[in-house]
Structure 1
Amino acid sequence: MDPRRVLVFREVARSGSLSAAARGLGMTQSAVSQQLRLLEREAGVPLLLRTTRGTRLTEAGEALLRRADAVHTALHLAGQELGALSQLRAGAVRLASFPSGTATLVPPAVRSLHADHPGVEVTLVETEPPEAWASVLAGESDVALVFGYDGPPHDDGSLAWVPLGVEAMYLVLPPDQAVPDALGAPWLAERDWVAGCERCRQHLVACCRAAGFEPRLLHESDDYVVVQSLVAHGLGVTALPELALSAFRHADVVVRRVDWFGRRHVGIVHRPGAERVPVIRALMERLQESARVVLA
């Protein structure tokens, strides 16, 4: 049965006459009558008896009215729920983010979203860009905060990319080493190195090779706090991006900007069209605001 005709039938049953139902629905009486005839044809039994005083429900009509009331209630509740979502009185969004982005860009963005829309729930999973990208593709996350070295991450067209900013790379050195003003390949080739995540390690090695030496990698950690602690204790040198140093800066390290380490491009990826979902759009806007401050 056509649910629209069921709702017309409900209005007739509740108002007691075709003319009253027509006024309530903003339809002509003949249009209401036609919808009822079609509904009875679909039902296969009479639903209403016309009398001089209006209409009276048959037994089948009584049964259908109970269902029609349930349909009307469900649609009313759906309208209220959709209204709450569209006006951000409710809703949930799932975010995946790499560690230094989680520490710097995410907290002010989520705090701002909660301040404006307390009913919105944000869930966060911390993961590196390849896994974050995959989680959006798999539908496990709505938005992912990711980065790419010297350009956005490789894009096969499956996700939309929203750039947030570009961060510089820095050489991080122990405090007690005699560091030359010109950091050349011969001096750096003699250092021990601390490497980060797999992609960061690959980028580090590629940059060092391009500069003319092979880095001697002795230590590895995905944690930029651990990496800086190792460097601070004289166990090696490393390269870290701006966000990692903004999130945590060990008091006993020396930081030098080195252009040949390139730059990291930070941005958001999401499924095409997801930006039209109010709660997703609201989180993305807050992340953009956060990036304008942190990556300024």
Structure 2
Amino acid sequence: AVEYRGAPGEDDRRLTRVPLYSEPFDAVLPVRHRLADQEQVAVADLAKDTWIGPYPGNPCHDVVVLACQYAGFEPSLEHSSDDFHAVVALAGADAGVALVPRSALRGMDLTDVVVRPVHGSAPTRRVFAAVRRGAEAHPLIAPVLDALAGAAGGVGLGRGTG
């Protein structure tokens, strides 16, 4: 699961949350964007741009919208896709700017875009496994949690404490 506005909170007594990783979102800009030559990009500096982002209901949509709201504006989301390959392709076609989770950019064709870290406190997605409280030590569940933690180890911060 991914933390978002509707996700069960850490205080939900029904579940044990096992943190797997967290990762920042990076700014994806067309190569000819006015900020393409900067080392980092502030979200506030993209307030007047057209935006590309995930559809409402996708937890990453919430991250993008909240990042813009914290920067003092509502993003002009004119193009939407839950496929980050499509989001990057749209940015490369000069259709707008986007915030994309860093791991989603791995192995992608980034020829027509520049990817820049977000200046300041970068928007972040936190990924966790959720199991029924008390079930995390079950002999069929514990190995799955360990495998998830192992796979997540190379993505972000790795498995934390539940």
**Alignment match, 2:81:** 221
1:78-112: per-residue Cα shift (whole Å, max 9, x none)? xxxxxxxxxxxxxxxxxxxxxxxxxxxxxxxxxxx
Q: Contact 2:54–2:81 (CA<8 Å) still a contact in 1?
A: yes
Q: Say whether residues 1:284 and 2:145 are aligned partners.
A: yes
Number of the residue aligned with 2:21: 165
Counterparts of 1:30-109 in structure 2, within 5 Å, are none
**Closer/same/farther in 2, CA of residues 287 and 184 from structure 1, 3 Å limit:** closer
Give the Cα–Cα distance (whole angstroms) in 2 for the partners of residues 276 and 184 of structure 1: 43
Q: Which residue of 1 aligns with 2:131?
A: 270
- From the superposition, tell whether residues 291 and 202 of structure 1 become closer, same or farther in structure 2 (CA, over 3 Å): closer
Higher-RCO chain (CA-CA 8 Å, sequence separation at least 6): 2
Specify which structure has the higher proportion of helix. 1
Q: Residue 136 of structure 2 aligns to a residue in which SS?
A: helix
| 1:15-34 C-alpha deviation (Å, 9 max, x unpaired) | xxxxxxxxxxxxxxxxxxxx
CA–CA distance in structure 1, aligned partners of residues 128 and 43 of structure 2? 32
Compute the displacement of 1:256 (Å).
1.0
Residue among 98, 106, 110 paired with 1:238? 98
Please identify runs of 4+ aligned residues in structure 1 that moved more than 4 A.
184-187
Q: Hey, what does 1:99 align to over in structure 2?
A: none
The CA distance in 2 between the partners of 1:185 and 1:171, in whole Å, is 8
Using the size of structure 2 for normalisation, the TM-score is: 0.78
Show the counterpart of 1:178.
34
* Rg (Cα) greater in structure: 1
Determine what percentage of the aligned residue pairs are the same residue.
34
Cα distance change, pair 185–271 in 1 and its aligned pair in 2 (3 A): closer
Query: Which residue is equivalent to 2:110?
Result: 250
Q: Which amino acid aligns with 1:264?
A: R
Counterpart of 1:148?
3
- Stretches of structure 2 that go unaligned for 5 or more consecutive residues are 158-162
2:50 aligned partner:
192
Q: Which amino acid aligns with 2:52?
A: V
Between the aligned partners of 1:187 and 1:207, the Cα distance in structure 2 is 12
The 1-side partners of 2:43 and 2:126 are apart by: 25
Residues 211 and 260 of structure 1 are in contact (CA less than 8 Å); yes or no, is this contact kept in structure 2? no
Verify the 8 A CA contact 2:44 2:71 in the aligned structure 1. Answer: no
Inter-partner Cα distance in structure 2 for 1:228 and 1:216: 17
- Residues 137-195 of structure 1 show CA distances to partners (whole Å, capped at 9, x for unaligned) of xxxxxxxxx1215xx85242211100112211111111122316364567412211001
| Equivalent position SS for 1:274 | coil
Cα distance in 2, alignment partners of residues 153 and 174 from structure 1: 36
SS of equivalent residue, structure 2 residue 128: strand
Secondary structure at the counterpart of residue 82 of structure 2: coil
Pair 1:197–1:158, CA change in 2 (3 A): farther
Instruction: Confirm or deny: 8 A CA contact 1:173 1:237 kept in the other structure.
Output: yes
Point out where structure 1 has 5 or more consecutive residues left out of the alignment. Answer: 1-145
